[in-house]
Amino acid sequence: MSQHSHVQRMSRMMLKTLRDDPADAETASHKLLVRAGYVRRSSAGVWTWLPLGKRVLENVARVVREEMDGIGGQEVLLPALLPRELYETTGRAEEYGDLLFALKDRKGVDYVLGPTHEELFAQVVKDQCSSYKDMPVILYQIQIKYRDEARPRSGVLRGREFHMKDSYSFDTSDDGLAASYGLHREAYQRIFERLGFDYRIVSAVSGAMGGSASEEFLAPAAAGEDTYVQCPSCGYAANTEALTTTVAPAPLDGHPPVEELDTPDTPTIETLAAHLGVPASATLKNLLVKIDGEITAVGVPGDREVDLGKLAEQLAPAEVEVVTAEDFADRPDLVRGYVGPQGMAGKAFRYLADPRVAPGTSWVTGSNKPDSHSRNVVCGRDFEVDQYLDVVVVEPGDPCPRCGSGIELDRAIEIGHIFQLGRKYADAFELDVLGQNGKPVRVTMGSYGIGVSRAVAALAEQTHDELGLCWPREVAPADVHIVAAGKAKQTELALELAEKLGAAGVRVLVDDRASVSPGVKFTDAELIGVPQILVAGRRAEEGVVELKDRRTGEREELPVDEALARLTTTA
Ligand code: ATP
Ligand code: MG
């Protein structure tokens, strides 16, 4: 038989499937992509893409390319090796910190391996575009990125080397930026639709990227490291990191005066609430932390937990640490377990609080002396908040910021992120073009990422079943997997079918391995996860084959011609 480019013969492929999960694998995508022979771990967070995996990766990239070209994106390829100086100019060297892979050349010049490319793109456009007539511009690349992730677990879901599509828009007005952002949003919807994702678009925070409006594309999955909220009533959706709480202020007057109470042995919220017979939510918890070494109190209702990660995120690049016994040693004014903001906030410590600690709210809190608490401590009357921050761990049932109904919480994988950056990078590099009136105008930028390699693993997470991978058609490494059950006649038929289908443009994987038992071949076909499995088996000699849908498991016996017709029309 001739070797048709649409036909892959397993007898000639470098493919080794594994019966057992890799020992360090925690997520289904990690286990299955390794076991089915798509990827191999090279070192921590660094992966080799084997023939099947490369096909899937390229299929994702192809869909991304088509849709980016569709909105007028121009593909380029920038280097991954970048002068560190660029990242110093924008302050991102410090913001990314240890996440940056850093190296020196032989002359001692500092370089980084690009984690994302806003800086260099701004420079390229500064070099190439000089007039408003050159705008808007959308540039994109599909390239390898480097981030020295702290815990690269989960296989290719979180690599230290990974594939990203990153694009950047350049406009001369805010309306222009909004339009470029809108184009990307729609292109992303088409991309994730075509790839076969179940996904949500949620409001996000911009993080180290800088800038204002941003949204994430999340693929709901148990293995996800992001938590997002969703409102079942109004459809509001946001990353929990971006969820904001607003609490209307209440009147300051009409509250009884502060009253000190003896509360022996009540250093915790539980013991205090039980002793006084009030709900924990009526008490004010004051967590002491150090921000860049300075003692700071964070006030939250007693029934809520402080999310230290979220706190650190909002205060970055300031460093947030929990206090230790030593920090109390030279601060007799801070009584462990009995701290209250009255008389202390803004004096003994800066006072940060959750928005629930709104002006006019009244609390039971520490009296700043041992074994004593105070009640009727009113925010705005007895203490002031220096800064409000959303710092409590979000819980199901918390109010939706749009409609007030109880929200739901779910886990997801971030597969894409779009930002309206504004002028942060243009300012850093003085990126101007000549405007319509002959005067320079500062350019405004957007930046837009898709985790191309992560998308492969995220799809595996969403679509796999107990038998193995189960690819959506657009990304599958083939359209049909033909299994030759073993006898010479069966192999002959399988190869003949493969040839015919290949010639018709159907992508075929044909299992013509001679020394492999039919049982292993069937198991491998399920594991590899091509959408349709065609078996040349028992009735091959009569010209009857079996067609199986990998997803539904539905199987049907068909005459060869009918099977061919079916596969050439659906492919
Ligand atoms: P995360 O919060 O998961 O670390 P991020 O918000 O830092 O991601 P972005 O800077 O928004 O990531 O990068 C754009 C896209 O690149 C992400 O939406 C994600 O799909 C992908 N991505 C980011 N980090 C990784 C990684 N370590 N491995 C694989 N893909 C990644
Ligand atoms: Mg992101």
Distance from residue 416's CA to the centre of ligand 2 (Å):
7
Distance from residue 146's CA to the centre of ligand 2 (Å):
14
- CA 179 vs. chain centroid, Å, equals 24
Q: Which two tokens stand for residue 1?
A: 């038989």
Domains and CATH numbers, the chain: 7-14+478-570 (3.40.50.800), 51-243+409-461 (3.30.930.10), 259-388 (3.90.960.10)
Model pLDDT, residue 325: 86
Model pLDDT, residue 1: 47
Q: What are residue 244's phi and psi, to 5 degrees?
A: -110, 150
Contacts with 487 (C-beta within 8 Å, 6 or more apart), sequence order = 540
Q: Which of the listed residues 99, 450, 454, 459 should we mutate to test ligand 1's pocket, taking the one with most ligand atoms within 8 A of CB?
A: 454
Contact 249, 360 (CB under 8 A): yes
Model pLDDT, residue 152: 82
Distance from residue 451's CA to the centre of ligand 1 (Å):
6
Integer-rounded Cα radius of gyration of the chain: 30
| Angstrom distance (rounded) from CA 450 to CA 64 | 9
> Which of 496, 505, 503 lies closest to 536 in space, CA to CA?
496
Model pLDDT, residue 354: 94
Residue nearest to atom 3 of ligand 1 (CA): 414
Q: How many CB atoms lie within 10 A of CB 459?
A: 29
Q: Which two tokens stand for residue 287?
A: 């967590």
Q: What is the pLDDT of residues 284-297, one digit of tens each?
A: 999 999 999 999 99
Model pLDDT, residue 267: 83
**Which of helix, strand or coil describes residue 565?**
helix
| Angstrom distance (rounded) from CA 570 to CA 41 | 35
| Angstrom distance (rounded) from CA 33 to CA 471 | 12
Q: What is the pLDDT of residues 508-532, one digit of tens each?
A: 999 999 999 999 999 999 999 999 9
Model pLDDT, residue 266: 86
| Angstrom distance (rounded) from CA 49 to CA 167 | 24
To which H or E segment does residue 259 belong? strand 259-262
Treating both helix axes as pointing N-terminal to C-terminal, what angle do 174-195 and 51-70 enclose, rounded to 10 degrees? 140
> Which of 422, 416, 407, 423 lies closest to 458 in space, CA to CA?
416
| Angstrom distance (rounded) from CA 93 to CA 97 | 6
Model pLDDT, residue 542: 94
Within the chain, which residues score under 50 in pLDDT?
Answer: 1-2
